[in-house]
Amino acid sequence: MSFASLADLRNLNVLVLNPADAEGEFLVDHLRRIGCSTVQDWPVPAAAPQDVDVVFLAIEDDARDEIGQFVRNLRKPSPTILAIVSYENPTALQMVLESGALAVIERPIKPFGLLTNLAIARNSWLAQQNMQRDIRKYKRKVFGDKQVARAKVILMAANGATESEAHNEIRQMAMAKQMTIEAVAECIISAEGNLRKTLNRG
């Protein structure tokens, strides 16, 4: 599993979406002292710049529509989001949940805990990305295994081969053509499908 080091945190591109007040200026200055490349914006824009790694997002009820649009327009994978909250009520909580925030910063904003919350949020984000990557890899493997099994059935039916013989034939074809077994299986399935279409037209 990957973990964010302090050096990684110093190299982050951070977007602070907070009104241009004393707290917003303090947060930007503190993040810059940590070493983050930080910019501030308000009101909430329609979308985040493509190079942003982390977003500190002020949860303001009068900006609910803008926040919703901003979150919907986030690229995939989205940046790491930390919510800034002034109060704890059902509306604010719902906005935090909908934003996908991985940490919450309470007002008044204080220096103590900022780096810790940033590190925790970033590590949670990295864990999510690793999990998504493993899920995609598992899905590809399962799909590939199904394709190979189907290709073996096609060869067994066409040639009267055993499952072991069909598997060896697919493996030999893959080696000869310098392709993966899954790619060869896909070719066999595609060829069988085209043959069926031709026979149906006839």
| Band of pLDDT at residue 67, cut at 50, 70 and 90 | very high
Mean pLDDT of the 145-164 span = 90
| Band of pLDDT at residue 194, cut at 50, 70 and 90 | confident
Q: How far apart are CA 102 and CA 115, in angstroms?
A: 14
| Band of pLDDT at residue 199, cut at 50, 70 and 90 | low
Of 46, 22, 23, 27, the closest CA to residue 38 belongs to 27
Q: What is the pLDDT of the chain when averaged over all its residues?
A: 90
| Band of pLDDT at residue 198, cut at 50, 70 and 90 | low
- Say which residue, 195 or 9, is predicted with more confidence: 9
Q: How many CB atoms lie within 10 A of CB 9?
A: 19
Of 100, 6, 8, 88, the closest CA to residue 48 belongs to 100
0.85 exceeded by pTM: no
| Band of pLDDT at residue 158, cut at 50, 70 and 90 | confident
Mean pLDDT of the 101-108 span = 95
DSSP annotation of 6: H
∠ Cα 123 125 126 (to 5°): 65
The reply to whether CATH 3.40.50.970 applies to domain 6-111 is no
Domain assignments of the chain as residue spans, ordered by start: 6-111, 140-201
For position 201, what pLDDT does the model report? 63
pLDDT(140) > 60? yes
What dihedral angle (degrees, nearest 10) is formed by the CA atoms of 129, 131, 132, 136? 140
pLDDT(133) > 70? yes
* Beta strand spans in 9-117 (E): 13-17, 37-41, 54-58, 80-85, 103-106
Instruction: Look up residue 137 and give its two tokens.
Output: 């890899």
Q: Which CATH architecture has domain 140-201?
A: Orthogonal Bundle (1.10)
